[in-house]
Amino acid sequence: MRHLSIVKLVICVYCMLCAWGVVARGQDAGAKPQAAEDAPEGVVALVDLLGQVDDASFQLDLLKGINDGLKGRRSVAMPAKWPGVYKKLAVSNNEQVREQARKLALVFGDPAALASLRKTLQDDKAPLDARRQALQSLLQKKAKGLAPVLHALVSQPTPLRLDALRALAAYDHDATPGVLLKTYDGLSNEHKQAALNTLASRVKYARVLVAAVADKRVPIDDVPTETIRKLRLLKDDALQQQVAKLWTITRATPAQKQARIDALKKLLSQQVERQPDLSHGRALYKKTCAQCHVLFDDGGKVGPDLTGSGRANLDYILLNIVDPQATVGRDYFTTVIETEDGQQVIGLIAAENANAVTVRTANGEVLVPKTEIVDRGVREMSMMPEGLLDRMKEDELRDLIAYLASPVQVKLPPPPAAARDGGGGGARTTP
């Protein structure tokens, strides 16, 4: 048994090296990633080996090794024997083998795998987890023609609505802004935030969003500070003029920020008859902070986990909200990536290899192949924008700060009837 484990380990390491192309020719760390259509040396031999072995655990190790090595490659030439190998793996009794085989089949552009995943995604009777996994696999492939399918998922209160709202950022499709705005009023707050993030991901989408805000089809107060900052990072002079008209750009000095902190501390330290509503505070947190921060195991992982922080200390919390740039560490500097099809990806670098960059954004992790990047830069600023409290009323401030200081989780208030869209929460997807 030990001998078999060692053999498996050696082969799996070889899988990854072959997939990267290291075994055959070596690769400089700074070399440009391979073109999408090139087949890495060694993959053909590994596919042949997959066809010869019947042990499911061995097949799984091989498949994981190849998939890890090819991570970030959307397309690789299909080995001649792959269709027959996939036919065998697709009916394996091991679910993980079937899933890893589907992932590899997508990289090879196997039409049978693409058709199967599309069918699963669109089958409202299929298990939700299977549909969600199908969507994630199709997104990683950036399968052509997926946008209309996502439009259909967004247009109805389906369990995948949130996933589809986020996934649409990956696709440049003329109909997307209209679809999102048509459904906007019937969305929950979480769904609205996802829609706004998608609309702020491309210049052409952002133009429609800004026009909708100017025409009051989208309430200006719905657009959070984080989304406004994304709009300001888009490279389009005409758009920036419109953004400046709607949202005044102010650059507070350190003295002004300290004055703001002092004023808020004085206000929040006053004794008032009304007790803070912690449930309402949690709802405000969900709308304002939860996309990026975890609190009580709920929220995104773009910023630090707040659960164990000094959030009960009013000075600490106000400093970090009013002047987030004062305490930002290098690990939380913002990376801004522009892709060849016009998508803007903003977040923190979660992982990087020779083929791709994984960016942790407010909408989840996004895998960006390096061959698709046209511009990449690091901003020495926090992902957390300034001015988060500026549009809040006094009672809202008290509720949010009290919830942030709470030692225990509280229930969310019941949603208004208009927001009960049945869309479901959904897992974060990778557009």
pLDDT tops 60 at residue 425: no
Confidence of residue 189 (pLDDT cuts 50, 70, 90): confident
Q: Report yes or no on 211 lying in a domain.
A: yes
Confidence of residue 42 (pLDDT cuts 50, 70, 90): confident
What pLDDT score was predicted for residue 250? 64
Q: Report yes or no on 423 lying in a domain.
A: no
Is-contact 412 283, C-beta < 8 A?
yes
Q: Are residues 266 and 410 in the same domain?
A: yes
Q: Are residues 400 and 285 in the same domain?
A: yes
Q: What percent of the chain has pLDDT over 70?
A: 84
Q: Are residues 373 and 390 in the same domain?
A: no
Domain boundary residue, one of 60, 89, 122: 122
Confidence of residue 312 (pLDDT cuts 50, 70, 90): confident
Segment 236-294, tens digit of pLDDT? 999 999 999 998 766 667 888 899 999 999 999 888 889 999 999 999 888 888 878 88
Q: Are residues 338 and 405 in the same domain?
A: no
Q: What is the mean pLDDT of the chain?
A: 83
For residue 228, count other CB atoms closer than 10 A to its CB.
19
What CATH number did the domain enclosing 367 receive?
2.30.30.100
Residue with tokens 């998608």: 198
What CATH number did the domain enclosing 262 receive?
1.10.760
337 Cβ contact list (under 8 Å, min separation 6): 344, 345, 346, 357, 359, 368, 373, 375, 376
Segment 81-112, tens digit of pLDDT? 899 999 999 999 999 999 899 989 999 999 98
- How many structural domains compose the chain? 4
Q: Report yes or no on 136 lying in a domain.
A: no
Q: Report yes or no on 203 lying in a domain.
A: yes
Structure tokens at 403: 């919830």
pLDDT tops 90 at residue 10: no
Domain boundary residue, one of 87, 122, 157: 122
pLDDT tops 90 at residue 203: yes
What pLDDT score was predicted for residue 341? 93
Q: Report yes or no on 62 lying in a domain.
A: yes
Q: Are residues 169 and 297 in the same domain?
A: no
Residue with tokens 């072959």: 18
Confidence of residue 229 (pLDDT cuts 50, 70, 90): confident
Which residues span the domain enclosing 20?
A: 2-122
What pLDDT score was predicted for residue 41? 63
Q: Are residues 318 and 408 in the same domain?
A: yes
Is-contact 325 386, C-beta < 8 A?
yes
Between CA 369 and CA 34 the distance in angstroms is 10
Q: Report yes or no on 420 lying in a domain.
A: no
Q: Are residues 210 and 163 in the same domain?
A: yes
Segment 12-27, tens digit of pLDDT? 555 555 544 444 333 4
Q: Are residues 406 and 282 in the same domain?
A: yes
Q: Are residues 110 and 237 in the same domain?
A: no
Segment 344-387, tens digit of pLDDT? 999 889 888 888 999 988 888 899 999 999 999 988 777 777 77
Q: Could you tell me which of 68, 66, 74 has the C-alpha nearest to residue 45?
A: 66
Q: Are residues 186 and 231 in the same domain?
A: yes
Q: Report yes or no on 261 lying in a domain.
A: yes
What pLDDT score was predicted for residue 26? 38
Q: Are residues 370 and 408 in the same domain?
A: no
Domain boundary residue, one of 208, 228, 246: 246
Q: Are residues 31 and 166 in the same domain?
A: no
Cβ burial, residue 57 (10 Å; 0-12/13-18/19+):
middle
Q: Report yes or no on 10 lying in a domain.
A: yes
What pLDDT score was predicted for residue 253? 72
8 or 155: whose pLDDT is higher? 155
Q: What percent of the chain has pLDDT over 90?
A: 45
154 Cβ contact list (under 8 Å, min separation 6): 161, 164, 165, 168, 179, 180, 183
